[in-house]
Amino acid sequence: MNDIQWTPKATRQLRKLRDSELRKRLYRGVQLLADFPRCQGVKRLTDHQYTYRLRIGNYRVFFEFETEIKVISIEEVKKRDERTY
């Protein structure tokens, strides 16, 4: 089992979410990272500022793993359309 540390930025981003069910879903998803690397929805990133990302619905939780898991940022992925590119 791995320890999970939250940066102040990630904690603020989680608290800012108005939907309490979504907030709980994201928190529970991050808690599953304690079983890293045997968890679903995780992808190792290349050429990116962060090392890993966890996908939970329309949100991405960016984190790093060395001796413990450090949750860095939570970002919403907007739907793409013909004006995105």
25 SS3 class? helix
- Which candidate, 17, 16, 25, 18, places its Cα nearest to that of 55? 25
In a domain? residue 15: yes
In a domain? residue 24: yes
Report the domain count for the chain. Answer: 1
Q: Which domain holds residue 55?
A: 4-76
Give the model's confidence band at 67: pLDDT under 50 very low, under 70 low, under 90 confident, else very high.
Answer: confident
In a domain? residue 60: yes
Give the model's confidence band at 84: pLDDT under 50 very low, under 70 low, under 90 confident, else very high.
Answer: low
The CATH number assigned to the domain holding 23 equals 3.30.2310.20
Q: List pLDDT tens digits, range 24-66.
A: 999 999 999 988 888 888 999 999 888 999 999 899 999 999 8
User: What per-residue confidence (pLDDT) applies to 3?
Assistant: 86
User: What per-residue confidence (pLDDT) applies to 59?
Assistant: 93
